[in-house]
């Protein structure tokens, strides 16, 4: 809440500055001369004609119309509010100066300064309904409303309040909806049942069930009847609060005889709640129950289930559900396609993902930023960075503005193919697009330079984070520690570990394992063992990776007894050996020339459900070849192929 208030204050200051600029413009703008008069006459005459919106000459005249001139034309026609509203809607699409939200807010200030409140109310309602698609957008508009209230005494009317509440509920802004509701009462408006429902819904979307219940008590006292909308909001609120059993209890009450009944939205919310809780089987059964009770699953119902299946890696089941959805005449939406595109990209099936993307376009749907980011990420992971940048071009041509995640994906793609300097150049585009780099952005660059070199550039990026007020995190330091250990600079790595402790950043298994690996590589096995014992004592170990490092060191020195002791300790701490662990053992046995134990180890791997991989087989075949056992090596090659390796 505090962060939201600070953001509101910052936006308010920015808009106040814009308002001062425009008031200054108004005071310094010369009186319209004959050419301006002629311009106004032309525009005024044209917008009075039938089908004026299609007039090509008018489009040319207004293509570079700024907010000040738009406000003059609206003021001239202020007696016809309907025409003014139509002109406002139309000019915002035609004028390059009135396209973005900030320019439209500046236009609000100008209308307020002319006391054109009749038009202003209509324009404001339209702006809230059509242009506020994010929390930042609605906060900008609300800040402007407060600013105009303080300066000119402008008060929004009841329709504007209702639209505002609806928008806040849609954007999951429960506390802000409550504050607007309070202001609405203070302004003396009689609140209707729909306004109460909006506040209840907004609270429930944030999981504030108790606050929603307070409003339900108010509704009952005022004589309003609780309907399916209010009950469905309660189901949603309990799901969002993690109280699935309570949500199911409300759902059952609704379904009982004499209850308000349930609809497709209610079912979809419960299905989603069950999926979130990992109860996919129950969610699928509920979808079947919907159909049996004559309540057809909606696009949202199917999409929620498809996503849950994708998250569990059930690709075939997800596509079967998509087929069922389309057979029943339920069209997939942007989110449905995005879920499938993302899943295919994660599975490395980039061509299938691209095909799904094209199908989406063929169905007349406009991909959103999330869809583009998923596909860009897929291309970058495959090393197809050129294709990713081509998609960025498509995205911009379709007026879908990239966000910081888009650029992070592209930068990571460039770093993956060893081009960190080009990734650094991309930072310019980030700033040109009015975006601010995050710690993720800098971590990508640090990792890129650590892998490709030079490491000094990674240090410079770390310093630049502090200049921009972004604190390096655990990933930033661990990446540098790992790289320093790999090149034998243990003292510098130790300095960064000390810095992490000083800053209160907890050391974890990854950081300490990187340092242990560095100590082992530098021949300081004794120091590594001491640190390892401390890790064991402090309960840092969650994976076999640290054990594998020691096994590798011991295996190279052919210390089989010590290797077995490490393995026993691994099992003692509940960490099952991985294929890497077994492969290290195999390598140690090969160095010792113990071929019989080697072949037994292969059988043990299969029994433990950890079958040998290409590296395991290669080590054994190479050992057999070196000892002159070519026939055994050939037989093992045959077994390897039969095993599908």
pLDDT digits (tens, 9 = 90+) for 323-372: 999 998 899 999 999 999 999 999 989 999 999 999 999 999 999 999 99
pLDDT at 32: 42
Average pLDDT across the chain, whole number: 83
Query: Which whole-number Å values give the CA distances from 502 to 178, 506, 507, 592, in the listed order?
Result: 42, 10, 11, 46
Confidence of residue 47 (pLDDT cuts 50, 70, 90): confident
* DSSP alpha helix (H) spans, 539-613: 545-556, 560-572, 579-592, 595-607
pLDDT at 558: 57
pLDDT at 99 exceeding the cut of 50: yes
Mean pLDDT of 405-424: 93
HSE (CB half, 13 Å, CA atoms) of 416?
16
pLDDT at 568: 67
Residue 542: CB atoms within 10 Å: 13
Q: Checking phi first, is residue 304 left (phi over 0); if not, alpha (psi -120 to 50) or beta?
A: alpha
> Residue 565 and residue 639: Cα distance in Å, rounded?
31
pLDDT at 560: 58
pLDDT at 536 exceeding the cut of 90: no
Confidence of residue 277 (pLDDT cuts 50, 70, 90): very high
pTM exceeding 0.75: no
pLDDT at 33 exceeding the cut of 50: no
Mean pLDDT of 591-605: 74
pLDDT tens track for 299-312: 999 999 999 999 99
pLDDT at 415: 93
Estimate the share of the chain in helix, then strand, then coil, as percent rounded to the nearest 5.
75, 0, 25
pLDDT at 246 exceeding the cut of 60: yes
pLDDT at 284: 93
* DSSP alpha helix (H) spans, 313-419: 315-327, 334-346, 350-362, 369-381, 385-397, 404-416
pLDDT tens track for 446-485: 999 998 878 899 999 998 887 888 889 999 999 999 999 8
Residue 217: CB atoms within 10 Å: 9
- What does the domain layout of the chain look like in residue ranges? 1-154, 333-402, 544-642
> Residue 630 and residue 339: Cα distance in Å, rounded?
51
Pick the CATH number of 544-642 from 2.40.160.20, 2.60.40.10, 3.30.360.10, 1.25.40.10: 1.25.40.10
> First and final CA of the chain: distance in angstroms?
56
pLDDT at 8 exceeding the cut of 70: no
Specify whether the CB–CB gap between 621 and 630 falls below 8 A. no
- Among 419, 388, 421, 385, which residue's Cα sits nearest to residue 402? 388
> Residue 514 and residue 545: Cα distance in Å, rounded?
10
Specify whether the CB–CB gap between 146 and 161 falls below 8 A. no
> Residue 433 and residue 204: Cα distance in Å, rounded?
35
């Amino acid at each position: 809440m505090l962060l939201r208030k600070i953001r509101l204050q910052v936006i308010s200051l920015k808009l106040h500055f814009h308002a001062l600029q425009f008031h200054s413009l108004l005071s310094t703008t010369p009186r319209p001369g004959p050419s301006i008069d002629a311009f106004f006459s032309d525009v005024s005459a044209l917008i009075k004609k039938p089908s004026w919106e299609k007039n090509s000459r008018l489009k040319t005249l207004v293509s570079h119309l700024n907010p000040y001139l738009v406000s003059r034309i609206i003021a001239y026609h202020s007696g016809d509010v309907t025409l003014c509203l139509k002109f406002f809607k139309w000019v915002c699409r035609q004028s390059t100066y009135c396209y973005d939200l900030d320019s439209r807010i500046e236009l609000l200030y100008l209308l307020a300064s002319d006391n054109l409140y009749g038009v202003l109310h209509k324009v404001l309602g339209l702006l809230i309904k059509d242009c506020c698609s994010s929390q930042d957008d609605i906060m900008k508009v609300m800040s402007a409303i407060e600013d105009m209230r303080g300066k000119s005494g402008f008060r929004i009317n009841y329709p504007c309040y209702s639209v505002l509440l609806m928008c806040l509920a849609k954007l999951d802004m429960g506390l802000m909806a409550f504050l607007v509701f309070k202001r609405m009462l203070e302004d003396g408006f009689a609140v209707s049942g729909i306004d109460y429902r909006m506040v209840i819904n907004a609270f429930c979307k944030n999981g504030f069930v108790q606050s929603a219940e307070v409003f339900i008590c108010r509704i009952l006292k005022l004589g309003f009847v609780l309907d399916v909308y209010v009950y469905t909001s309660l189901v949603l609120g309990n799901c969002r609060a993690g109280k699935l059993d309570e949500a199911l209890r409300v759902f059952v009450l609704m379904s009982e005889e004499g209850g308000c009944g349930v609809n497709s939205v209610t079912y979809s919310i419960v299905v989603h709640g069950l999926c979130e809780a990992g109860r996919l089987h129950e969610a699928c059964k509920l979808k079947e129950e919907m159909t049996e009770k004559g309540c057809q699953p909606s696009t949202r119902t199917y999409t929620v289930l498809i996503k849950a299946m994708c998250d569990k890696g059930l690709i075939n089941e997800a596509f079967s559900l998509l087929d069922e959805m389309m057979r029943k005449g339920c069209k997939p939406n942007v989110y449905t396609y995005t879920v499938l595109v993302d899943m295919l990209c994660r599975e490395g099936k980039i061509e299938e993902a691209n095909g799904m993307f094209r199908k989406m376009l063929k169905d007349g749907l406009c991909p959103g930023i999330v869809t583009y980011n998923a596909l860009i990420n897929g291309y970058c992971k495959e090393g197809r960075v050129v294709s990713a940048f081509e998609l960025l071009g498509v995205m911009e041509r379709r007026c879908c503005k990239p966000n910081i995640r888009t650029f992070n994906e592209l930068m990571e793609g460039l770093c993956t193919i060893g081009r960190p300097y080009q990734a650094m150049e991309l930072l310019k585009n980030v700033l040109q697009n009015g975006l601010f780099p995050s710690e993720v952005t800098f971590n990508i660059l640090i990792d890129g330079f650590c892998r490709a070199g030079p490491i000094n550039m990674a240090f410079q990026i770390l310093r630049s984070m502090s200049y921009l007020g972004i604190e390096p995190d655990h990933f930033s330091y661990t990446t540098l520690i790992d790289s320093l250990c790999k090149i034998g600079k243990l003292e510098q790595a130790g300095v960064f570990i000390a810095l992490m402790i000083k800053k209160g950043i907890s050391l974890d298994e990854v950081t300490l394992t990187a340092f242990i690996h560095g100590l082992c590589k530098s021949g300081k096995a004794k120091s590594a063992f001491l640190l390892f014992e401390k890790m064991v004592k402090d309960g840092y170990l969650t994976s076999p990776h640290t054990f594998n490092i020691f096994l590798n060191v011991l295996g190279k020195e052919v210390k089989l007894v010590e290797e077995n002791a490490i393995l026993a300790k691994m099992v003692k701490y509940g960490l099952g050996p991985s294929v890497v662990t077994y492969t290290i053992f195999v390598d140690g046995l090969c160095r010792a020339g113990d071929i019989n134990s080697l072949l037994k180890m292969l059988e043990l791997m299969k029994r433990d459900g950890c079958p040998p991989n290409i590296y395991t087989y290669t080590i054994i075949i190479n050992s057999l070849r070196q000892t002159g056992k070519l026939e055994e090596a050939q037989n093992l090659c045959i077994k390897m192929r039969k095993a599908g390796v």
